[in-house]
Structure 1
Amino acid sequence: MGITGKTIVLGVTGGIAAYKACTVCSQLQQKGARMRVLMTKSATRFVQPLTFQTLSHHHVYIDTFEEHDPSGVAHIDLADEADLFVVAPATANLIGKLANGLADDMLSTTLLATRAPVWLAPAMNGHMYQHPAVQANLNKLKERGVQLIEPGSGLLACGYVGQGRMAEPEEIIAAVEQYFISGETPGKKPYEETVKRWWQGKRVLVTAGPTQEPLDPVRYVSNHSSGKMGYALANVLRRVGAHVILVSGPTALEVPPGITCIPVVTAQDMYEQVLRHYPSVDVVIKAAAVADYQPLTRADQKIKKDADEMTITFKKTKDILKTLGEKKDGQILIGFAAETHDVDVYARSKLEKKNLDYIVANNVSSEGAGFGSDTNTVTIYDRWGGKVDVPLLPKEEVAYQILKVVADRHGSPRE
């Protein structure tokens, strides 16, 4: 199971969002998929075919009549090879052609010939997207089993604000991974209004990533945290309308747009920044893997490899989560517990001792749930005795489930 070795045909049409398809192609290729790219001639006005050729390590197809292998017919071969066919961006023109069975270029011809699942990520002006003709075409395609990765709302390239912005590459990649892990199609449901309503306008501080505790100018002690869970939470919070402050240890991740990011390195750095912003926020989600201990002293010069053994004395770092629990003044406090055994016992103990409202616990030794993975499976405990199990899902979907649990509890007061 999984994405490795799967052939994904990526169709790219002529819209400004074509640049996002480069990220989709690159990351799916890096995750082990065999990427094949089809471009319309209009798409080549936005992104050069050479870009996709470099990213996919394969020829890019544009012209139906340009056959590179005389032993086969390219559009039929691609149609047959595909395990999944994704069009991103999908313009109104392509949607109309596919809905009405037109095949006047390489992409539309191959789409009609394939028996693989077809996913469309629409991208266009908001008025175009809402036009009855476009909606009728989309409905016709959905009835035939074509899956839509719904566009987002916001400022569009044309200057309008509305629905029509292509889903972010991370959403498309997560949906593709989930499909090959569990067989689930995106059928992307919009975030529930009750969840969006509760989180809208909330000021949320999220911590993410590891900390690095220096031994000398060139060495440090750290952990395997990638920051992916914290960044996923920040990204989903942004989408449901929250104002996000992301305090992040060193990671290789890009900061999602629209988020205030405060980079830190050590546990002390993170402690100071979190405490600084704590009074001004409504919710803290502490997903960072902060070092519990730091070297008692830091050498001013590089430690030389002179002795066969070396003893390092460590001291405890400040407990950020415990401090937040002690200083809590109306904020909702959500902690994380990464465990390797007795998860239930340790999570419930941490929830109580640190005065948390929720704790999200997972067994990092479980397959697909460890540090650095793109998926996670967690259990969410709350101080009222509640417990919610979240199955193995892409981390952004796990993030949404966490936000939903909180919104359900606080948006619908209980006795």
Structure 2
Amino acid sequence: MQLEQKNVLLGISGGIAAYKTPDLVRKIKAQGANVRVMLTESASHFVSTLALQAVSGEKVSTHLLDEDAELGMGHIELARWADIFLVAPATANTIAKLTHGIADDLLTTLALATTAPLLVAPAMNQQMWAAKATVDNIATLTDRGAVMLGPAAGEQACGDVGYGRMLEPEEIVAALDSFASINMADTQTIMGEENANKFFSGMNIMITAGPTREAIDPVRYISNHSSGKMGYAIAYAASQLGAKVTLVSGPVNIPPPEQVEVESVVSAQEMYDAVMGDIASQDIFIACAAVADYRVDNASDQKMKKNKDQGLTLSFTQNPDILKSVAALENAPFTVGFAAETQDVVQYAKSKLERKKLNMIAANDVSKPGLGFNSDKNALIVITPNTKFDLVQASKDSLALSLLKLVEQEYKATQKSR
């Protein structure tokens, strides 16, 4: 249990979902963590301090100035005690305060006083969640390093249906456990210190990124919405962690990462040729590119002219499967796939992992607004043959580090088993 003996400070703001927090506290403690709780004044209308004290075994804090604390500064004591600061539920009002540094109660003051990572479980009406002010506030918080846990979609207390429901307690605990296992070592320190432990030192890692373009004629093509941002973030992070990185990139509009060898390609066939031409020297292969499954059969050498009296019919043929081909090699590198899905994400990702005989797959739901293609943020479900990790919504730079930490762990495990 990754939360064993971790100090989790839970801040509860005034949403109807607060009634779930005694169960949340109980489930966090069941993972071996220490839990202290604070309530805002409005939260006390939805859940009692007595119930929370009973399940936490600790005094519940409600006021900024605590007469029982040394010099009345209980907030400083709590700020120093916390390893993780979790706000659940986090109302739109609380999120706005956290964003703008307003410290007018115990919860918001602690957010400024603590150095613990901030995890936020939003809970609000679906229209409040979609409001531009909230969208901008969430973007600002995540850019500063806060981690969003949810929200989920479904029927809400007001009768509306949509995103805004707080995650269920067991989902929040799973996310906390995943966060603790990956992030408590402080990946920012790994990236920032000159003498940091570069755990990919001396290793070769090949990464594919971006879309491919399949020509219809010299001026038209078929492609997809991939921006290449996730693959480029992984390539940069891997290079900072000591790897010699080869980035095979489709057409993108972002600059190449420093200290990374970039091979630019256009079509799926070109990407296949580039990968297979150098794969024998690679220790790890991460297939982040959105490769076209099909190409136009007999693409025209000249620009096709419109015939106003006729439609246009194109026939297609399958492109080579880069990921499957690499994983099938006799001395295959540790192989990581990506799966961008719009439904049944875990089911499809597991099927792809098994069908292509991969070591790991990172799946994301590109139907969720603000995540995936062309966004600076993402959330991943990372699956191996024996485990599953939820990497909650964060910047792609942050996710790249979290993913690579998992790759390192699983790679070492496979080497030991050989």
**Normalised by the shorter chain, which TM-score bucket?**
0.5 to 0.7
Per-residue CA deviations over 1:364-415 (Å, capped at 9, x if unaligned) read: 10122231000001100112x1100110000011111111112223446788
Contact residue 207 and residue 235 of structure 2 kept, 8 A:
yes
Q: Distance in 2 between matches of 1:336 and 1:188?
A: 22
1:409 corresponds in structure 2 to 410
CA drift of 1:243 comes to 0.7
Structure 1 pair 361/146, CA: closer, same or farther in 2 (3 Å)? closer
- Tell me how far apart the structure 2 counterparts of residues 351 and 322 of structure 1 sit (CA, whole Å): 10
Instruction: Give the Cα–Cα distance (whole angstroms) in 2 for the partners of residues 202 and 254 of structure 1.
Output: 24
Counterpart residue identity of residue 247, structure 2 = L
**AA in 2 matched with 1:295:** V
Which letter maps to 1:310? Answer: L
CA shift in 2, pair 1:364/1:268, >3 Å: same
Contact persistence 2:340–2:364 (CA under 8 A): yes
User: Is 2:349 the counterpart of 1:347?
Assistant: yes
Inter-partner Cα distance in structure 1 for 2:395 and 2:147: 11
The equivalences for 1:65-76 within 5 A come to none
Q: 2:143 aligns with which of 176, 195, 198?
A: 176
Distance 2:267 2:141 in 1: 31
Pick from 370, 373, 385 the counterpart of residue 372 of structure 2. Answer: 370
User: Does the alignment pair 1:395 with 2:362?
Assistant: no
Answer yes or no: is the 8 Å Cα contact 2:334–2:411 preserved in 1. no
Q: How does 1:193-208 map to 2 (within 5 A)?
A: 196-208=197-209
C-alpha separation between the residues in 1 aligned to 2:273 and 2:197? 30
User: Structure 1: where are the runs of 5+ without partners?
Assistant: 1-82, 86-114, 118-143, 148-172
What SS does structure 2 have at the residue aligned with 1:278?
helix
Q: C-alpha deviations, 1:323-379, integer Å up to 9, x for none?
A: 111115151000001111111111111111111100001111012223100000110
CA distance in 1, matches of 2:317, 2:331: 29
Q: For 2:362, what is the secondary structure of its paired residue?
A: strand
Is contact 1:198-1:411 (8 Å) kept? no
Indicate the SS of the match to 1:302. coil
> CA 1:387–1:180 in structure 2 vs 1: closer, same or farther (change >3 Å)?
closer
Runs (4+) of structure 1 exceeding 4 A deviation are: 144-147, 177-182, 412-415
Alpha-carbon distance between aligned partners in 1 of 2:368 and 2:330, rounded to the nearest angstrom = 33
**Does 2:234 correspond to 1:240?**
no
Instruction: Write the distance in 2 (CA, Å) between the matches of 1:391 and 1:372.
Output: 18
Q: Distance in 2 between matches of 1:359 and 1:309?
A: 40
Note closer, same or farther for the CA distance 1:347–1:181 as it changes in structure 2 (3 Å cut).
closer
Structure 2 matches for 1:150-165, cutoff 5 A? none
**Separation in structure 1 between the aligned mates of residue 147 and residue 354 of structure 2, nearest angstrom:** 39
SS in structure 2 of the partner of residue 327 of structure 1: coil
Distance 1:269 1:361, change over 3 A: same
Q: 1:190 corresponds to which residue?
A: 189
Aligned amino acid, residue 350 of structure 1: K
Match of 1:140 in 2: none
- CA–CA distance in 1 between the matches of 2:141 and 2:353? 30
Number of the residue aligned with 1:293: 294
Question: Which deviations, in whole Å up to 9, do the C-alpha atoms of 1:21-54 show, x marking residues without a partner?
Answer: xxxxxxxxxxxxxxxxxxxxxxxxxxxxxxxxxx
Matched with 1:66 is none
Could you tell me how far 1:178 is from its partner in structure 2? Answer: 4.4
Which secondary structure does the structure 1 equivalent of 2:399 belong to? Answer: helix
**Residues 1:412 and 1:279: Cα distance change in structure 2 (over 3 Å):** closer
Alignment of 1:27-106 (within 5 A): none
Aligned-partner SS, 1:348: helix
Q: Tell me if 1:326 matches 2:293.
A: no
> For residues 267-282 of structure 1, what are the structure 2 equivalents within 5 Å?
267-282=268-283
Write the deviation string for residues 234-266 of structure 1: whole angstroms up to 9, x where unpaired. 011011111100000000010011110000000
TM-aligned CA distance change 1:398 to 1:314, over 3 Å: same
CA deviations over 1:277-307 (Å, ceiling 9, x no partner): 1000100000000000000011111111113
Going from structure 1 to structure 2, the CA distance change for 1:180 and 1:191 (only over 3 Å counts) comes to closer
CA distance in 1, matches of 2:207, 2:371: 20
TM-score, normalising length: structure 2: 0.55
User: Kindly tell me: are residues 387 and 196 of structure 1, through their superposed partners in 2, closer, same or farther at Cα, counting changes over 3 Å?
Assistant: farther
What are the equivalent positions in structure 2 for 1:309-320 lying under 5 Å apart? 309-320=311-322
What's 2:133 paired with? none
Query: What does residue 253 of structure 1 align with?
Result: 254
TM-aligned CA distance change 1:363 to 1:237, over 3 Å = same
Structure 2's unaligned 5+ residue stretches are 1-97, 104-111, 116-139, 150-185
CA distance in 2: counterparts of 1:253 and 1:226, whole angstroms: 8
AA matched with 1:345: Q
What does the per-residue CA deviation read over 1:3-32, in whole Å, with 9 as the maximum and x for residues that have no partner?
xxxxxxxxxxxxxxxxxxxxxxxxxxxxxx
CA distance in 2, matches of 1:408, 1:211: 31
Pairwise CA RMSD of aligned residues?
A: 3.6
The residue number in structure 2 matching 1:262 is 263
Cα deviation code 1:135-161 (max 9, x no counterpart): xxxxxxxxx9698xxxxxxxxxxxxxx
